[in-house]
Amino acid sequence: MGVTFNVKGSFKNTERLCAKLSKGNYLNNLDRFGKEGVNALSKATPIDSAETSTSWDYQIKRSKGSTSIIWTNSHLTNDGAPVAILLQYGHGTGTGGYVQGRDYINPAMKPVFDKIAENVRKEVISA
């Protein structure tokens, strides 16, 4: 048994909306959101990790059909492990102990993600 869909009419309005959105201003705001994310992450990074808190950055990657903001942190341990991730998820010590992780990334980024979503929502409504 299969499912069949019959569609009548035109997709002209949908295609026009998609074309308008692909050229939308929300892409122009990505740099602002990238900087806001860096600021939020820097402020939220545990204070005893000053080098980690000042090592946040971002990049905007565009490829066919998608655009992404990628936040990065360049502070690594001597072994090459990312300190920001060790702080977030916890890690073992060299003496057999364990340092509990602290979720600081998700709460810091939630307001930034909410602003991005609101910005895109406004673009879709005004298109």
Domain range summary for the chain, segments of one domain joined by +: 27-126
> Which bin fits 81, alpha (ψ -120 to 50), beta or left (φ > 0)?
beta
CA distance 32 to 41: 14
Work out the pLDDT band at 63, boundaries 50, 70, 90: confident
pLDDT digits (tens, 9 = 90+) for 8-25: 677 777 777 666 666 656
**Contacts of residue 40, Cβ cutoff 8 Å, sequence gap at least 6:** 108, 109, 111, 112
What number is the average pLDDT over the span 77-96? 93
Tracing tokens 């059909």 back to the chain, one arrives at: 65
Secondary-structure percent of the chain, ordered helix, strand, coil, rounded to 5: 50, 20, 30
Judged against a pLDDT cut of 60, whether residue 1 lies above it is answered with no
Report the SS3 class of residue 62: strand
At residue 42, the pLDDT reads 96
Tracing tokens 């655009």 back to the chain, one arrives at: 67
Instruction: State what percent of residues in the chain have pLDDT above 70.
Output: 83
CA distance 96 to 89: 17
Stronger pLDDT, 4 or 75, i.e. the higher one: 75
Judged against a pLDDT cut of 80, whether residue 75 lies above it is answered with yes
